[in-house]
Amino acid sequence: MGKPTGFIEYLRELPVDRTPSERVRDWKEFHHHMEEKKLRQQGARCMDCGIPFCHTGKLISGMASGCPINNLIPEWNDLVYRGLWKEALDRLHKTNNFPEFTGRVCPAPCEGSCVLGINAPPVTIKNIEASIIDHGWEEGWVLPEPPKQRTGKRVAVIGSGPAGLSAAAQLNRAGHLVTVYERADRPGGLLMYGIPNMKLDKQEVVLRRIKLLEDEGIKFICNANVGENVEPQIFLKEFDATVICTGATQPRDLTIEGRSLKGVHFAMEFLTANTKAVLNGTTAPINAKGKDVIVIGGGDTGTDCVGTSMRHGCKSLVQIEILPKPPTERAADNPWPEWPKVYKLDYGQEEAATRFGSDPRVYLTTVKRFIGDEAGQLKEVVTVEIKWEKNDKGQFVPKEVPGTEKTRPAQLALLALGFLGPEQALLKEMGLETDPRSNIRAEHEKYLTNIKGVFAAGDCRRGQSLVVWAINEGRGAARECDRYLMGSTDLA
């Protein structure tokens, strides 16, 4: 602990973002970096607690508390305070293969469980993490580290999202020959097409890391859709082991009147098409320009739909949220170190509020039906307010409030309602067993499926979750896969 009184002397500070009115004009990342002096002061706020809850990585009340990959947060906070950036980078890479991803898109459950956060604003852990790795890239410290020896074992990884990339990185580090199969035209999975460019730059951040993985010896095969143009049998015949990391990409639908109208899309259709257009320098085929947009659902995906629609130049925007508006401070039933369920303006809502004058979210509301014109094009959305009441089983369920129907103009409606689990075609083709939630059945910390030598990790095993949990699972599956191949493992 470099400065015992740091948490008393310094207030929490974050870098100033680009202004909403400026950043909606392009697809560049909207965060600025903080000067080194202030970063070191923020590192000094860490109390080096006797029990650092920030890196415990537990589930409390169904939500992450602390860092799921057990980042050595107090250690690299102290090293930043001392100005030892390279040592801080080494500490960061011990537990996290891709801190440039988590430092940008992770919701930072570590900060929610920071001990300082009990009675003061928590340490700016996420910003310090991003600053360490970005400093490392700038200084040329992040270099390819191919293994000194090869085992001769061949491992396939299906899916190149955060779980697949971390599994591939770890297995390659152990000396195995790793091939990653990705069905999209570019590697990265969720990191490439599920998160917009203004949150996570594809060329300068995602593809930069993938190029480094290639330089370390990992082979990527894109446009490889297992079960369609890639036979599942090759994984059992040509590889010594396989790790499946396909994610939970089956979206939750809204089966109401008018669902088939033109202009009603899943959020991921919209976001994927837009990122492809940004990378290809073309116009997005699903475009919000000049339209009244309704985003149905909250969470990060809903926010990304809001931010993307703002950059297209939408005419108006409303975001429908079925849950009540969160309180401005922790509620009594949401104590530390649980994830704080409090009201905040995320980047997309901030941009909409700047342009339209208020937070676009409408709470305790649901969509009742879509209305179209004579050509089958969406023109209106009917919403209704709800209240949550207990049913005869004691479960809270939404009930419509009579007389609260409202017809809203809309030519584009985006369904951001979460995901039901992995797509089932590949699982059936390979004969993989599933659990009652349709996820691949594989015990946590073991990751082995019902097929010998086939492992599963990430959202396809645990269900929709955070990028940092996917990295946790990819690393864990790599460890168990290495143990299966070699009889023992040195992977963490």
Percent of the chain whose pLDDT exceeds 90: 95
Using the predicted structure, report yes or no on whether residue 118 has a pLDDT greater than 80.
yes
Query: What's 52's domain CATH number?
Result: 1.10.1060.10
Q: How many CB atoms lie within 10 A of CB 300?
A: 17
| Domain identity same for 124 and 99 | yes
| Domain identity same for 277 and 394 | yes
pLDDT given for residue 444 in this prediction: 86
* pLDDT 10s digits, 138-192: 999 999 999 999 999 999 999 999 999 999 999 999 999 999 999 999 999 999 9
Residue 144, in any domain of the structure: no
pLDDT given for residue 206 in this prediction: 98
Tell me how many domains the chain contains.
Answer: 3
pLDDT given for residue 50 in this prediction: 85
Q: Provide mean pLDDT across the span 268-281.
A: 97
Sign of CA dihedral 108, 307, 270, 302: positive
Using the predicted structure, report yes or no on whether residue 133 has a pLDDT greater than 70.
yes
Is 0.85 surpassed by the pTM of this model?
yes
| Domain identity same for 428 and 405 | no
Residue 492, in any domain of the structure: no
- Alpha helices for 324-466 (secondary structure H): 347-356, 424-430, 459-462
| Domain identity same for 343 and 370 | yes
pLDDT given for residue 11 in this prediction: 96
| Domain identity same for 132 and 158 | no
| Domain identity same for 269 and 409 | yes
pLDDT given for residue 284 in this prediction: 96
| Domain identity same for 313 and 375 | yes
Instruction: Please identify, among 115, 139, 163, the residue that sits at the C-terminal boundary of a domain.
Output: 139
Q: Provide mean pLDDT across the span 205-213.
A: 98
* pLDDT 10s digits, 348-398: 999 999 999 999 999 999 999 999 999 999 999 999 999 999 999 899 999
Nearest CA among 190, 90, 59, 68 for reference residue 472 = 68
| Domain identity same for 218 and 130 | no
Residue 474, in any domain of the structure: yes
| Domain identity same for 286 and 404 | yes
Residue 145, in any domain of the structure: no
| Domain identity same for 409 and 427 | no
Using the predicted structure, report yes or no on whether residue 294 has a pLDDT greater than 70.
yes
pLDDT given for residue 1 in this prediction: 61
The one-letter amino acid at 53:
F
pLDDT given for residue 48 in this prediction: 85
Angle at the Cα of 50 (from 48 to 51), degrees rounded to 5?
100
In angstroms, the CA 165 to CA 472 distance is: 11
| Domain identity same for 257 and 404 | yes
* pLDDT 10s digits, 6-42: 999 999 999 999 999 999 999 999 998 899 999 999 9
Residue 459, in any domain of the structure: yes
Give buried/exposed letters for 323-338 (b at 16+ CB in 10 A, else e): eeebeeebeeebebbb
In angstroms, the CA 67 to CA 75 distance is: 14
152 neighbors 469 (Cβ within 8 angstroms) = no
Residue 1, in any domain of the structure: no
Q: Which residue range is the domain that position 317 belongs to?
A: 253-417
Residue 440: is it exposed, middle or buried by C-beta count within 10 angstroms (0-12/13-18/19+)? buried
| Domain identity same for 400 and 454 | no
* pLDDT 10s digits, 385-444: 999 999 998 999 999 999 999 999 999 999 999 999 999 999 999 999 999 999 999 998
* pLDDT 10s digits, 45-57: 999 888 899 988 8
Nearest CA among 307, 293, 123, 313 for reference residue 197 = 307
Query: What's 379's domain CATH number?
Result: 3.50.50.60
Place of tokens 């509301």: 365
pLDDT given for residue 365 in this prediction: 98
pLDDT given for residue 153 in this prediction: 98
Using the predicted structure, report yes or no on whether residue 2 has a pLDDT greater than 80.
no
Residue 149, in any domain of the structure: no
Residue 56, in any domain of the structure: yes
* pLDDT 10s digits, 238-272: 999 999 999 999 999 999 999 999 999 999 999 99
Instruction: Using alpha carbons, list the distances in angstroms from residue 45 to 16, 122, 384.
Output: 19, 9, 46
Instruction: Please identify, among 388, 417, 446, the residue that sits at the C-terminal boundary of a domain.
Output: 417
Instruction: Please identify, among 417, 445, 471, the residue that sits at the C-terminal boundary of a domain.
Output: 417
